[in-house]
């Protein structure tokens, strides 16, 4: 996978470049925000994943995140130091897909990278399936329609622009109309992690999904549990 690693700390960046390279990933290291944005703009073929440190010497990691999101939907995993939970939530609100708290093991990082990539997989799967008459009809609940084959979500017939993570969440909920889905269950099945420290990730993505789907689609909070898509005929 082509990975852009944005990290100013050599003691973190250098072993990561080596470890990810050993796993077969092609890593470009950018030590600050300016070089990260330049590398992203020049990349051919484009990067498939960005690992983004929030504390950078020249610019705020949030601005890098926002700029990358404005350019497209490359998956972004924020890498932050312990105790920066608030920062992390803001990063997720700006469109990052997941986050990891330093220090972390390479195994954990690889698992999270793979999970993020799997959430995007339907796009490539569709491209591969074009013309083969693949099944999987769109699933509907009221005015919400999730077409996993085309990787499209529509509300009242209008396509809604979702990030891969929001799409995966919408697809998960629409398959379980009326069911209370716990945060842990969502983390396990959508994010493929059981790291309970990241339940905030679920809340942030549900909030942005609600915002994008609008009031025609109701996702209720189930107090103390998680979320429920309110079924409609
Ligand atoms: Ca840093």
| Residues whose beta carbons lie less than 5 angstroms from ion ligand 1 | 8, 53, 55
Ligand 1 centroid to residue 12 C-alpha, Å? 9
Average pLDDT over the chain, rounded to an integer? 87
- Residue 105 alpha carbon to ligand 1 centre in Å: 17
> Can you give the residue ranges of every domain in the chain?
2-119, 123-229
Range 2-119 classified under CATH 3.40.50.1390: no
Q: Which CATH architecture has domain 123-229?
A: Orthogonal Bundle (1.10)
Q: How far apart are the CA of 157 and the centre of ligand 1, in A?
A: 44
CA of 56 to the centre of ligand 1 (A): 5
Residue-level pLDDT at 82:
61
Ligand 1 center to residue 15 CA distance, Å?
15
Which tokens go with 74?
């490359």
Neighbours of 71 (CB within 10 A): 12
pLDDT given at position 213: 96
pLDDT tens figures, 139-181: 999 999 999 888 899 999 999 998 888 999 999 999 999 999 9
pTM, two decimals, is 0.69
Lowest mean pLDDT across 86-90, 202-206, 220-224: 86-90
Q: Is-contact 16 8, C-beta < 8 A?
A: no
Can you name the residues that pair with 160 across neighbouring β-strands?
153
Instruction: Specify the long-range contacts of residues 219-228, CB closer than 8 Å, at least 24 apart.
Output: 219/173, 222/180, 225/180, 225/182, 225/183, 226/180, 226/181, 226/182, 226/183, 226/184, 226/185, 226/186, 226/202, 227/173, 227/180, 227/181, 227/183, 227/186, 227/202, 228/173, 228/178, 228/179, 228/180, 228/181
């Amino acid at each position: 996978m082509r990975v852009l690693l944005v990290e100013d700390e050599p003691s973190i960046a250098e072993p990561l470049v080596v470890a990810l390279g050993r796993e077969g990933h092609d890593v470009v290291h950018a030590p600050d925000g300016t070089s990260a944005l330049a590398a992203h703009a020049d990349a051919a073929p484009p990067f498939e994943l960005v690992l983004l440190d929030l504390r950078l010497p020249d610019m705020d990691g949030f601005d890098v995140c926002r700029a990358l999101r404005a350019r497209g939907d490359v998956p972004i995993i924020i890498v932050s130091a312990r105790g920066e939970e608030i920062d992390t939530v803001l990063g997720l609100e700006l469109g990052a897909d997941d986050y990891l708290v330093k220090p972390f093991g390479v195994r954990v990082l690889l698992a999270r990278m793979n999970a993020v990539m799997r959430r995007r997989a339907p796009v490539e799967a569709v491209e591969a399936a074009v013309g083969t008459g693949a099944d999987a009809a769109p699933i509907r609940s009221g005015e919400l329609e999730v077409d996993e084959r085309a990787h499209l979500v529509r509300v009242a017939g209008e396509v809604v622009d979702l990030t891969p993570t929001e799409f995966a969440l919408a697809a998960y909920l629409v398959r379980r109309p009326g069911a209370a889905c716990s945060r842990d269950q969502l983390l396990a099945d959508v994010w493929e992690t059981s790291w309970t420290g990241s339940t905030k990730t679920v809340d942030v993505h549900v909030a942005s999904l609600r915002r994008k789907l609008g009031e025609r689609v109701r996702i209720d909070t189930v107090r103390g549990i998680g979320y429920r898509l309110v079924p409609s005929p």
